[in-house]
A and B are shown apart, each in its own frame.
Chain A
Amino acid sequence: MNASSPSARHSLPPALREPVLVRAALIAVGLAFLALFVLVPVAAVFTQALEKGSLAYLRAVLQPEVRAAMWLTLLCAAVAVPLNVAFGVAAAWAIARYEFPGKQLLNALIDLPFSVSPVISGLSLTLLFGAQGFFGPWLAAHGLKVVFAVPGIVLATTFVTFPFVAKEVLPVLQAQNADQEEAALTLGARGWQVFLRVTLPRIKWAVLYGVILCNARAMGEFGAVSVVSGHIRGRTNTLPLQVEILYNEYDFAGAFAVASMLTLLALVTLAAKKLLALRAREVRP
């Protein structure tokens, strides 16, 4: 650990430290807040899920409808994540490495899906592809279904997870200048070689970080997917939608059992995030 690491802060001179009681009180208040709003709800998910025993839990998790929902959730992530990785890396490269008019605007537009309510994202897709939507008649004439079908759900997932990878990769690319890439070029490397051999190794942790966040949101998205799903059992339900259905049918044990799988996913996401942060710090000189 060098002098600029966070832990150096603990050796502040006495004049810059609060009395022990104040410190203890602040820690207590902060942790109580965190426990009340985060720890208690998470614990509630698991206690409710296992309330009727582990056998009932397994039965709830292995229902055919839940398995179908799991496959659809995986499919959504399998489409949305690679697409948004390709976009995120391309966008970050274009913005960080070139000057062009409207760069600020492009940068702001990439953030747009974060500031749009998920319900509005779903509504927009309905207005585009729904029966009364702009492309509705054309789709119907060709026998294609987007809204209330799998393509709509995948599109909604792609929309809400749009900025994640770009947001992680862009600052990393911006912090590095193009010297190494330019050197590789003068040494005769081709464009793709430069990208794969020089750029990619330098941004791989940021890409992975983006993938993890993007995946968590893709699998957990509720609002946007809910609008375009139509809730057709075993067909257009993702895991979060299945949670809602079971809950609304008063099958609380089942709802919390499915919810516990999603909670585990969230906890794994957090652990992976933490590991990556540690790893990235090690790699940096």
Chain B
Amino acid sequence: MKAADAAVRRLTRRRGILPGFRLTFGFTVLYLSLVVLLPLGALVLRSTHLSWAQFAAAVSGPRALAAYRLSFFASLLGALINLVFGSVLAWVLTRYRFPGKALADALVDLPFALPTAVAGIALTAVYAENGFIGRYLVANGVHVAFAPAGVVVALTFVGLPFVVRTLQPVLLDLDPAMEEAAAVLGAGRLRVLARVIAPAMLPTLLTGFALSFARALGEYGSVVFISGNMPLKTEIVPLLIFTRLEQYDVGGATAIAVVMLAGSFALLLGIHAIGMVGRRRPARSQVVA
């Protein structure tokens, strides 16, 4: 009966008993094409105006290579910091009760809501030589502002909500029966964490990490203030694109942008793949149980 019901629903849906398909679908595709696809298409099309040699020169100069390296490793480090401390924060926010919890939970979203330029000047003020934290660091010879470490700090800030917000709902849905079973069978808390909770959370951890990493790669506003923007040293890829454009090197800017766009797409596909594996995983373990 249920199968027949579903079949009927599928049929009626496809035939479109509800009105408005043409209107909503048409508007969606038109608006998407005009606002998003047309500009991005222009970017890709413009890059084909370059000869292969021009393209290669633009994307593989020493300045570009240094920028790729910094963007990649600073984003990676920021995402790793978020993975470790974001996991602790997500755990604490879902499992424990303590004063100020609701406020802490709300604050996690701040990096989403705070304009990146504001984050940039605020972090710079905090980590500069006379800043709240910077004065102690600089006294000990650690430079964060106007150094690669500053890039990591800014990218950690912008990626902070992703790990926490990805983990929270999954942690809440985790079946306590599994942990109970492990405890009854004699496993200590650490062992339960390592053998029961961590494996169940692995796809989610990876997704949160990848989202945080992807967000960091494209970030511009918060980094330009704290990094000092020194070519070869503290110049990230988006800044290099902007600089090329301001130097009227439109071809160079486009070439680097296309490389970066390709990287982002690859990452996006990766995140989708992790999501798909993650969705399949619990179903399988339920069958085993």
**A123:B16 contact, CB within 8 angstroms:** no
- Given A9-B172, A240-B118, A243-B117, A33–B257 Cβ distance below 8 Å? no
Q: In angstroms, how far is the closest chain A Cβ from the Cβ of B63? A: 16
**A158:B35 contact, CB within 8 angstroms:** yes
Q: Does B18 sit at the interface, judged by CB under 8 A?
A: yes
**A98:B25 contact, CB within 8 angstroms:** yes
Q: Does B53 sit at the interface, judged by CB under 8 A?
A: no
**A37:B157 contact, CB within 8 angstroms:** yes
**B115:A162 contact, CB within 8 angstroms:** no
Please report the C-alpha to C-alpha distance between residue A15 and residue B191 in the assembled complex, in whole angstroms.
12
- Collect the chain A residues with CB atoms within 8 Å of residue B225's CB: 244, 247
Q: Does B125 sit at the interface, judged by CB under 8 A?
A: yes
Q: In angstroms, how far is the closest chain B Cβ from the Cβ of A62? A: 19
**B238:A273 contact, CB within 8 angstroms:** no
- Collect the chain B residues with CB atoms within 8 Å of residue A38's CB: 107-108, 110-111, 157, 160
Interface residue SS majority, chain B: helix
**A259:B122 contact, CB within 8 angstroms:** yes
**A94:B21 contact, CB within 8 angstroms:** yes
Give the interface size bracket for A toward B. 35 or more
Interface residue SS majority, chain A: helix
Closest residue of chain B to A16, judged by CB?
B179
- Given A98-B25, A120-B238, A42–B183 Cβ distance below 8 Å? no
- B window 96-129: CB within 8 A of A: 96-98, 100, 102, 104, 106-119, 121-123, 125-126
**B36:A162 contact, CB within 8 angstroms:** yes
**B220:A117 contact, CB within 8 angstroms:** yes
**B29:A106 contact, CB within 8 angstroms:** yes
- Collect the chain A residues with CB atoms within 8 Å of residue B277's CB: none
- Collect the chain A residues with CB atoms within 8 Å of residue B122's CB: 41-42, 44-45, 48, 259
- B window 55-107: CB within 8 A of A: 85-86, 88-89, 91-98, 100, 102, 104, 106-107
A119 contact from B17, B172, B220, B268, Cβ within 8 A: B220
- Given A16-B180, A181-B18, A120–B121 Cβ distance below 8 Å? no
Give the interface size bracket for B toward A. 35 or more
Q: In angstroms, how far is the closest chain A Cβ from the Cβ of B114? A: 4
A42 contact from B29, B95, B110, Cβ within 8 A: B110
Please report the C-alpha to C-alpha distance between residue A108 and residue B269 in the assembled complex, in whole angstroms.
10
- Given A26-B88, A98-B16, A263-B114, A162–B35 Cβ distance below 8 Å? yes
Please report the C-alpha to C-alpha distance between residue A72 and residue B227 in the assembled complex, in whole angstroms.
28
Q: Does B37 sit at the interface, judged by CB under 8 A?
A: yes
Q: In angstroms, how far is the closest chain B Cβ from the Cβ of A280? A: 15
Q: Does B151 sit at the interface, judged by CB under 8 A?
A: no
- A window 248-280: CB within 8 A of B: 252, 255-256, 259, 262-263, 265-267, 269-271, 273-274
Given contacts A117-B220, A120-B218, A273-B113, 9 further A-B contacts (CB under 8 A): A27-B96, A41-B125, A45-B118, A90-B27, A109-B37, A127-B254, A185-B19, A256-B121, A262-B117
Please give the residue numbers on chain A whose beta carbons come within 8 Å of chain B beta carbons, in ascending order. Answer: 6-7, 9-10, 12-13, 15-19, 22-23, 26-27, 29-31, 33-34, 36-42, 44-45, 48, 83, 86-87, 90-91, 93-95, 97-100, 106, 108-113, 115-121, 123-128, 132-134, 155, 158-159, 162, 177-178, 181-182, 185, 191, 194-195, 213, 216, 219-223, 226-227, 239-241, 243-244, 247, 252, 255-256, 259, 262-263, 265-267, 269-271, 273-274
